[in-house]
Each structure stands twice: as C-alpha cells, then as structure tokens.
C-alpha cells in the first residue's frame, strides 16, 4: 500500500479494505452492505450510474451476480485525518484493468465506506454480445443518399440481410442457416433512403417473448433501468438505440415486441399497420399478427422512417379523434389519470373520453389471440423444433410445447373470436385513438423469477394484443413512470393511419 | 449540489470545482495543472490507468485532446472537515453518462484536487472503430475442430475473407471493392484448425507505415502505453490481442509491421520465412518482402499457430547457434547489455558473441531495401493511387510519391545490393541467431509530430529490414523496457527455421 507524505495508515483500515474486497469476490452481500455507511447520503458510482443512499446501493447489489475474479494490484491511500482516508485500488484480471476509489470514514469505531467509485475491467469482447451478433463500420452501406442519411440501423436478427444469415436468437438454428442473397424489402428501403446498417441485433428466440432474456446470449442492458431487463423480443435493436449505438432499431411487433422494449427503455416505438409494409425477407412467427416496426430515441426520427417505409396514402388526419381510456388496464401508480388530465387540457388534442371494455370480453379476446398466435407459431417452427429438442430455453420451449397441443377445433373457435374482436376494435378506431399503457409495468429486474416474468407477460399481452387483434398501428411514447422507471403510453389508431398517428404522438408528447 | 447531513459546503469549493470543469472543457492545461495538488502523491485514475504524482498527471493531460462537451448533471458532496471534501459529479452528453470523483483539500488557502477518478462517457460506437472494421460473435466460425479450438483471430484488413471485402485501411479503396468468394489460404488454415474469426482489424493504409496512426480510422489504443501509438501496420490485430479481444492477430510484416506493434504493446510477434506460408488471398505491398505473421500474448500460442501454418520440415534445431549483438543499433537506455548478460548466463542457451556490422554497410542495405520496397509498392498501387488523388493521409501519400519517382536504374542497382545483403545475412544466419531490438524505442506519443514519427520509422527500419532483406523469420519478445514502456527483443534466424526459433524464444523469455 502506497500512502502520502508522512501519513500513517490508521488502525483497522487495511483490514476493513480487505474484508470488503473478499466480500466483493464472494458476493457476500451482508458484509458488503454492512461495510457501506448507512443513511441516504452514501454514494456509489460507476461509469453508468451514481447511486445515492445505502438502500439504493444495497438494492443495486442484490441485482448483481458475482464480479469476475481479479487481483488487487496496488492500493494507494490518502490519509485525511485519524478517521478519514481515501483508498484507490488498481485491479487486474486476465485481460483488463480496473480502478476502485473508496472514501472510508471511522464511524462509531468502525471503518465504513461513505463514497465509492468503481471502474470495472473492460469487457474482453470487442462488442456487447447480448446486444449484437455482427457489427461493422458500417456492416452494410447505404445504397443511395436520402432523408435517412447518416442514421445507423440495428436490424433485428429476423430480417434477411444479403451476405448474412438469419439467426432468430437460436444458436442451433443459426448453425444450419446459409448466407442469404437478398436483403429484406424493408431493410433495402432504409438503405436506399441513406441509412446504413451498423449491425444485426439480438432477438428473443424466434421472437416468442416480451422479456429480452435470451438464455444463449444474455439480456441486453437497459440503460434506463440499471439491472432491469431490456424487454423483447426486439431486445437488441432497442438496447442498441438506447445505448446510442444506432438511431433506428428495426424490429417486429406481433404482440408488443417493439412497444414493450420501448416502454421498458424509455424509447419511442411503432408497430405499423399489418400488411402495410412488406414482410418479404422476414422470418415469421405468426403471420396474422407479425408486422414491421422500429424503435428510435425521438418521435421525429420515427416519423422520418415512416415517410420512407409507408406510402403517402396512409397519412390520414384524425379529424374526429377521441382519446378514451381502458379503465381495466390502468395501474394506480402509473398516474394515468394525471396524464389523461393533461391531454384533456391540451388545446391541440381532441377531447378525452372513457371507453368501457368489459374485463371478461378482454379476457376472451386475449385467450383467442394467444391461441391463434400459438397455432401459427407452431406451424412456422414446430417441425424444426421437433427435430431439434433442447435448442430453446425452458420458458420459450414451454410456450411452444403449449402451442403444439392446440387442437384444430380450438384454433377455429379462437379465429372466430379474433374476427369479432377485430370488428369491434375496428369500429371503435373509426373515430377514436385508444390510449393505454404500453406494458403492465416497468422493466422487471433481471433476477425476477420465471413465474414473475410469465405473469408480467400475460398482463402486458392483455394490452398489447389489442393492436395485434385488428392489425392497427400503435406507438409507444416514453411519458409515464412507475417507481421512477419509464413506462410507455401506447396510442392505437385505425389501420392505415400510421403517419397521422405519429403526428398525433408528437403533440401528445409535448402535452405530457 | 447535494451534500450530506448537516454539512455546509466550505467557501470557495464550488467555485474551484467549476473553474476546474471549465478548464476541462476548454482543455486549459495551465489551469488544470494548477488545480491539481503538487507533489508525487496526487492521484488520477480512470478505468485504464492510475497515475501517481502531479508530473505524471500533467504529462498524461498534455497528450490528450479536448474532451467531448458534456453537461454536469448533478454534483454530490461529502464534507469531511473544513478543508477536505469529496465531490462526485455526474456528467452526460448526447449518448452517454459519466462520473467524476474528486477529493479536494484546502492547502495554503487554495482548494486543490489531491485525488481524482474519472469514468468517461461510454463510446456510442458499438465497438472500437480504430481497432476493427467488422466484428461478429464470431464473424466466421471454425470449419473444423483442431488444436486452435476456441482461439479468436483478428484478421488484418489485407486478407481475403469470403463474404467480406478487403479494405486495406483506405476508405476510397474499400468503397470500390467487391465481396470476395474465397478465403485466403492462411486464414482458411486457421479456421480449419479450430480457430474462429472474431473480426476484420485495421491496418495502416496499404500497410505502408510502422506507426498505426491511420488518418481515417484513428490510432488503435495501446493498452501498454497510455497515450502511445499502437505501432503498425498490423495495428488493429495488435491492439485487439493486447486488449484481450482476440488471441491471435493475423498480420503481415514486410519490414516490421508485426514486430513493431508487438514491441510497442508488449506482445509476442512473428514474421515467418518469406514464401513459407502462401500469400494467396493477401493484398500485396512489396511481394519480395511481404510475409505472413501473427501477434499473440504469449509464445506458446504463437507456437501453436506455427504448428498449424508451417510444415514440420521447417522445424530445425539450432544446434550451433550463437547470439551476437549488433552494437550500432543498441540504445543505452534499453539495457541491452544487461539482457545479453542474462542470456549469456543461461545454461539452456548457446554462447553469446558480438557481431560487427559496419554502420555504412547497414545504411547501404537499408537504402537498397527502401528503394526496392518503394518500387514494388508503386507497382502494386501506383495506378490506383494516380486515379484516386487525395485518398491517403499525407505521410503515406508522401511515401508513395517518393516511391513513384524511383527510376528503373535506381531499382536495378538497389536490387543488386539487396542480393549482396541477402548473401551476407544468410551466411551469418547459418549458425547464428541475430539479436537486436525490435524497434528503435518504445511507442511514441500520439501527439508526436510527423517528423518525429518519420525519424523513428527510419531508425526502426534499419533494424527491421535485416530479416526482410534475407526473408528470414523473426520473433519479437516483450522483454526490454525504455522509460518504463515495453520494447521488443528481436530474434532472427535462418530462413526455414521458424518453429525452432519459437522454441528458442521460449527459452530466451524464461532467461530474461
């Protein structure tokens, strides 16, 4: 230990430092917590976050796995008095170095950390494998200049990109794929408008999840909610955009796969009208619901993409629009009521009205949606999955197993309910924009149990299935919060009104 | 500013903090230096380095350009007495957040920083563009298992990789290239031995430099020498290996392009016997000297690659080896003499003898080498360069301009000298391993002037040209130091003895 001029290291400090370091390596959370000073003024920061208060630090730590083993190479001390010292410890593992700065104070005879700043060893991967599969500078150049000049696209690993394979979030699938010759139409259109592809970004396995917790490649980071899941299935494109590594995350949204990660990460996400944009070159999950969409950091960029991918004819002004509320879905702590009040007070917006949607009817629709989606998903992937047992994580494998057992009779009955739902929703959307939360709540912790994730998925699907049921466009706006974390507000309008919906979204965001 | 319980912020501290921050943003080095406490105990660290002492911090800062503009979002204070306080400031720019921790002390009435820890905003690129052009997880899988299983290769952007273009460090060149169908033989051999390609790594423009300072993509980081250049032309593969992002950096070494970055970054580098490994699929610079080679973090990995790429017949024991010194090239502060003493004392090594190499003869060889290399480089790229003026940085453009003016008579005369040099060197190498520094000195600062870089290149080429002149294998070992930074020790043996040379290298490294 190197200390400053004429400074003797006070008794017990070195011992406390090493006790803390041992606890770090063994992830002994009790000891770690005990060695941080109690109270709301204790600080702990790294490159990504600064946490204030003992409780926040303990909560952060509980959501973390053991840190990689590394050596403390040297410790430097600045002794600031009998009871105060700053320690800076240089750490090293196989591939990288790190730095830990700790301000220690002796409080009631015990040495405690009152402030800490950590730089973890740099990853030894050249890029974040949980976000990307392949990246380049760029990976694919724009084919002509255009309105999207300079914008970088993260392409969900479900779209065909010439020279690449489609990985679909499943290593065993990827291993059998050939490089494709032709780029998906939606991707080609972006390249033709000046955008470039920065990389192929991760997806949940076959896009059949809303969590983003791919068992093979890990859960991409959610910079808006440290320790939170990314949301999925367009998990990689969402995180890439949230991290500033792409401006456009091109995804798909059969039942929330864009709106949910947008909601969890504070992004703007749009699912477009079903069949409005060609799905040519897109690996299907459930073709009746699969649709192209994208995530951006702001509405303006989302609208710029819409102008490229959606024909002019789809731009219809919502002259007689109302903004109703689906009471059954509102969560108290989202303060939806307050938001609606603000929307109602905005001159530029149409009047706000409530809309009754009976809980049992919604339940019936949701069940029918899930049945038809499951049936189609099994049609799309059942043969391959049967030939490749064990290639999926247990959550998504379980979902496919249920899908495999859906009978033709169940599917036929569900299809009828879906048709009824479509009729009712389409009627409402003639002169109405539906306003609901984009997800049941904010991003769960990465340590949530499988049951918690499944329950949250089911609640969220009750909301996200509405746009899917009638093939309507839906935009998620980052304007709600729950427990300090972002939740999206979802606007749903009539099929074919995508560009008008994005104009409205801009006004709604300004009013919130 | 948020401070702790009942703590008043002492007078003048906030002002000092903002004065420092303004100076940071304007890169006002005088003010920055004045606000750091003088003396050898002041600390400044980030994720990569911990600097001790005011002088080291000032030197580091002088080698840095202005930091990107960012906002200070919040400042948290822990007041530790009337004259001591810890400040933690959260910063944010367009795409990322950062954290600065500063320990301030009032010394002689002035608030000064005695310790600082900085986490800079994360880059908004998904990977380091100065190191890589394209990366994947992996980019190309192994084609069969083998002795290199699990090792990741960074391929210099001069080799053909099926499905990729060859970029050669020149954007204008890259833009005109087509994707290639066939992978270079050396690369294919690695894939067939179990290694995977993690990515295509940067090179100096057309490999015609030893610095690594590509004007288009930047100088890759040198983790061994903060603020130092990477060395080149195999700059990307070297930094990728040094950063732990690849285990094998596949490069080329016409005249030091592997040995120099190995020397600068503390790596093991080998240039193989000329023509021993096929250059099929490799973009040429000067075919008489171009040769395949690789960088690794240890000799064992380098030897494992050699067993894959070089036939058994090349393994000849160096039974009658001597280890002579070329006095003219030794720099005093490298302590070459000490190293040679240690080698001489090692039982496992042959006796050490000095070898006279007259300075004027070496100068003659060097000039001839440069002439033939320049002539061939212009043959390889002159037509393209003439059609694309302005596509290179001024240093390498200047080098090609000189090459363009070499007359056929000069080339013919130089070729004769090269033949004489080859004869003399080959004779020496019959029973001798030459031992010289791999480079004239350690990595220059990134802020070195073009003149400094050019002078260093010329000195280094006097050493590196020896192996090139006779097509001999040469290994650079990270065993010397100059001013605390690594310099390689270069062992050169007879053509065809590559694998034996690597065995000797292992013994030499153990003895150093």
Q: Among the listed ranges A412-421, B168-177, B218-227, which one has the minimum average pLDDT value?
A: B218-227
Q: Are residues A27 and A12 in the same domain?
A: yes
Q: Strands of A50-52's sheet, edge to edge?
A: A2-3, A71-81, A84-92, A97-107, A110-119, A43-45, A50-52
What is the enclosing helix (H) or strand (E) of A135? strand A132-140
Residue-by-residue DSSP string for B20-60: HHHHHHHT-HHHHHHHBPPSTT-EEE-SS-EEESHHHHHHH
Residue A46 with chain B: CB contacts under 8 Å: 99, 119
Instruction: Dump pLDDT digits (tens) for A231-288.
Output: 999 999 999 999 989 999 999 999 999 999 999 999 999 999 999 999 999 999 999 9
Is A168 part of a structural domain of the chain?
yes
Report whether pLDDT(B488) > 60.
yes
Q: Among the listed ranges A209-218, B128-137, B168-177, B431-440, which one has the minimum average pLDDT value?
A: B431-440
Pairing of strands B474-482, B268-271: antiparallel
Is A82 part of a structural domain of the chain?
yes
**High-pLDDT (> 90) share of chain B, %:** 71
Decide if A176 touches B, using CB distance below 8 A: no
**Higher model confidence: residue B183 or residue B57?**
B183
pLDDT number for residue A159: 98
Q: Are residues B77 and B158 in the same domain?
A: no
Which pLDDT band, with edges at 50, 70 and 90, does B143 fall under?
A: very high
Instruction: Dump pLDDT digits (tens) for A339-398.
Output: 888 888 888 888 888 888 888 999 999 999 999 999 999 999 999 999 999 999 999 999
Is B108 part of a structural domain of the chain?
yes
Decide if A311 touches B, using CB distance below 8 A: no
Q: Are residues B187 and B323 in the same domain?
A: no
Q: Are residues B271 and B192 in the same domain?
A: yes
Q: Are residues A423 and A490 in the same domain?
A: yes
- The total number of structural domains in chain A stands at 3
Token pair of A183, please?
A: 């780029």
Chain-chain contact of A244 with B119 (C-beta, under 8 angstroms): no
pLDDT number for residue A62: 72
What is the enclosing helix (H) or strand (E) of A370? helix A359-387
Q: Are residues B340 and B489 in the same domain?
A: yes
> What's the mean pLDDT when you consider all of chain A?
90
**Higher model confidence: residue A268 or residue B4?**
A268
Chain-chain contact of A101 with B117 (C-beta, under 8 angstroms): yes
Chain-chain contact of A94 with B244 (C-beta, under 8 angstroms): yes
Q: Is A379 exposed, middle or buried (0-12, 13-18, 19+ CB in 10 A)?
A: middle
pLDDT number for residue A135: 98
Selected residues 104-163 of chain A with any CB under 8 Å from a CB in chain B: 105, 114-115, 117, 119-122, 124-129, 131-137, 139, 141, 163
Selected residues 41-70 of chain A with any CB under 8 Å from a CB in chain B: 41, 43, 45-50, 52
Chain-chain contact of A43 with B103 (C-beta, under 8 angstroms): no
Residue A139 with chain B: CB contacts under 8 Å: 134
Domain limit, last residue, from A285, A309, A333: A309
Is B126 part of a structural domain of the chain?
no
Q: Are residues A345 and A368 in the same domain?
A: yes
Of B99, B128, B133, the CB nearest to A50: B99
Strand stretches in A204-316, DSSP E:
248-252, 268-271, 292-296
Q: Which residues contact B488 (CB under 8 A, 6 or more apart)?
A: B259, B262, B263, B269, B437, B438, B439, B476, B477, B478, B479, B480
Chain-chain contact of B47 with A101 (C-beta, under 8 angstroms): no
Instruction: Dump pLDDT digits (tens) for A293-326.
Output: 999 999 999 999 999 999 876 555 555 566 666 6
Beta bridge partners of A452: none
Angle between helices A185-192 and A299-309 (to 10 degrees): 110
Q: State whether ipTM is beyond 0.85.
A: no
What are the C-alpha distances in Å from A234 to residues A208, A306, A449, A481? 10, 18, 21, 21
What is the enclosing helix (H) or strand (E) of A96? none
Q: Which residue in chain A is spatially nearest to B42 when comparing CA positions?
A: A4
Which pLDDT band, with edges at 50, 70 and 90, does B249 fall under?
A: very high
Query: Which of B49, B97, B126, B244 to mutate: most A Cβ within 10 Å?
Result: B126
Query: Which of A8, A42, A45 to mutate: most B Cβ within 10 Å?
Result: A45
| Mean of pLDDT values over B468-490 | 94
Q: Is A124 exposed, middle or buried (0-12, 13-18, 19+ CB in 10 A)?
A: middle
What are the C-alpha distances in Å from B340 to residues B322, B440, B508? 12, 17, 10
Which pLDDT band, with edges at 50, 70 and 90, does A66 fall under?
A: low
Cα B141 to Cα B136: distance, rounded to the nearest angstrom: 10
Q: Are residues B112 and B189 in the same domain?
A: no
Tell me the whole-structure pTM to 2 decimals: 0.80
pLDDT number for residue B123: 44
Chain-chain contact of A139 with B139 (C-beta, under 8 angstroms): no
Domain limit, last residue, from A309, A333, A354: A309
Instruction: Dump pLDDT digits (tens) for B396-429.
Output: 999 999 999 999 999 999 999 999 999 999 999 9
Cα A370 to Cα A376: distance, rounded to the nearest angstrom: 10
**High-pLDDT (> 90) share of chain A, %:** 70
Selected residues 188-227 of chain A with any CB under 8 Å from a CB in chain B: 198-199, 217
Of B46, B88, B244, the CB nearest to A50: B88
Chain-chain contact of A95 with B243 (C-beta, under 8 angstroms): yes
Asked whether A499 and A318 are in contact (CB, 8 A), the reply is no
Is A342 part of a structural domain of the chain?
yes
Is B394 part of a structural domain of the chain?
yes
Of A115, A128, A240, the CB nearest to B88: A115
Of A81, A88, A217, the CB nearest to B43: A88
- The domain in which residue A352 lies consists of 316-511
Token pair of A240, please?
A: 């890439």
| Cβ pairs bridging A and B (under 8 Å) | 186
Domain limit, last residue, from A280, A309, A338: A309
CATH code at A49? 3.10.450.50
Of B4, B81, B117, the CB nearest to A41: B4
Q: Are residues B83 and B141 in the same domain?
A: no
The residue with tokens 């016997």 is B273
pLDDT number for residue A25: 81
Cα A96 to Cα B248: distance, rounded to the nearest angstrom: 17
| Mean of pLDDT values over A192-205 | 98
Residue A198 with chain B: CB contacts under 8 Å: 126
What are the C-alpha distances in Å from B369 to residues B407, B418, B441, B459, B481? 15, 6, 21, 13, 28
Q: Are residues A183 and A248 in the same domain?
A: yes
CATH code at B494? 3.90.1300.10
Asked whether A442 and A222 are in contact (CB, 8 A), the reply is no
Q: Are residues B100 and B241 in the same domain?
A: no
Decide if B76 touches A, using CB distance below 8 A: yes
Cα B138 to Cα B196: distance, rounded to the nearest angstrom: 7
Q: Are residues B263 and B342 in the same domain?
A: no
What is the enclosing helix (H) or strand (E) of A419? helix A408-428
Is B167 part of a structural domain of the chain?
yes
Is B173 part of a structural domain of the chain?
yes
């Amino acid at each position: 230990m190197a200390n400053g001029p004429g400074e003797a290291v006070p008794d017990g400090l070195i011992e406390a430092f090493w006790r803390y370091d041992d606890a770090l390596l063994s992830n002994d959370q009790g000891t770690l917590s005990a060695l941080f000073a109690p109270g709301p003024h204790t600080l702990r920061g790294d490159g990504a976050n600064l946490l204030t208060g003992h409780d926040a630090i303990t909560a952060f730590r509980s959501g973390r796995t053991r840190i990689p083993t590394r050596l403390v190479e040297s410790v430097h001390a600045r002794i600031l008095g009998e009871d105060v010292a700053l320690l800076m410890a240089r750490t090293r593992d196989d591939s990288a170095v790190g730095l830990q700065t700790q301000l220690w104070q002796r409080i009631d005879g015990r040495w405690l950390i009152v402030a800490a700043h950590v730089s973890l060893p740099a990853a030894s991967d050249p890029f974040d494998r949980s976000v990307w599969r392949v990246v380049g500078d760029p990976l694919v150049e724009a084919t002509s200049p255009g309105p999207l000049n300079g914008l970088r696209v993260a392409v969900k690993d479900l779209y065909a990109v010439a020279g690449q394979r489609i990985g679909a979030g499943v290593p065993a699938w990827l291993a059998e794929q050939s490089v494709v010759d032709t780029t998906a139409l939606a991707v080609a259109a972006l390249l033709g408008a000046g955008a470039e592809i920065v990389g192929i970004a991760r997806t949940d396995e076959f896009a059949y999840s809303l969590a983003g917790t791919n068992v093979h490649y890990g859960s991409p980071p959610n910079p808006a909610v440290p320790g939170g899941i990314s949301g999925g299935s367009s998990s990689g494109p969402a995180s890439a955009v949230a991290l500033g590594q792409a401006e456009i995350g091109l995804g798909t949204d059969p039942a929330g796969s864009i709106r949910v990660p947008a909601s969890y990460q504070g992004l703007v996400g749009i699912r477009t009208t079903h069949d409005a944009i060609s799905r040519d070159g897109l690996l299907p999950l459930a073709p009746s619901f699969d649709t192209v969409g994208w995530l951006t950091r702001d509405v303006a960029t989302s609208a710029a993409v819409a102008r490229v991918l959606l024909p002019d004819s789809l731009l219809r002004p919502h002259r007689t629009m109302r903004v109703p509320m689906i009471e059954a879905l509102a969560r108290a702590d989202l303060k939806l009521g307050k938001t609606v009040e603000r929307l109602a007070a905005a001159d530029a917006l149409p009047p706000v009205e409530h809309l009754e949607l009976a809980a049992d009817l919604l339940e019936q629709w949701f069940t029918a949606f899930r049945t038809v989606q499951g049936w189609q998903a099994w049609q799309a992937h059942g043969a391959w999955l049967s030939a490749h047992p064990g290639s999926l994580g247990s959550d998504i494998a379980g979902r496919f197993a249920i899908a495999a057992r859906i009978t033709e009779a169940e599917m036929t009955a569900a299809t009828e309910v879906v048709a009824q739902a479509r009729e009712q929703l389409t009627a409402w959307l003639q002169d109405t924009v539906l306003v609901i939360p984009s997800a049941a709540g904010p991003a769960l912790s990465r340590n949530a149990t499988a049951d918690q994730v499944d329950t949250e998925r089911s609640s969220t699907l009750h909301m996200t299935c509405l746009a899917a049921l009638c093939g309507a466009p839906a935009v998620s706006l980052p304007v709600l919060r729950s427990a300090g974390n972002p939740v999206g507000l979802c606007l749903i309008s009539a099929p074919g009104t995508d560009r008008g919906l994005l104009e409205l979204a801009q006004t709604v965001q300004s009013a919130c």
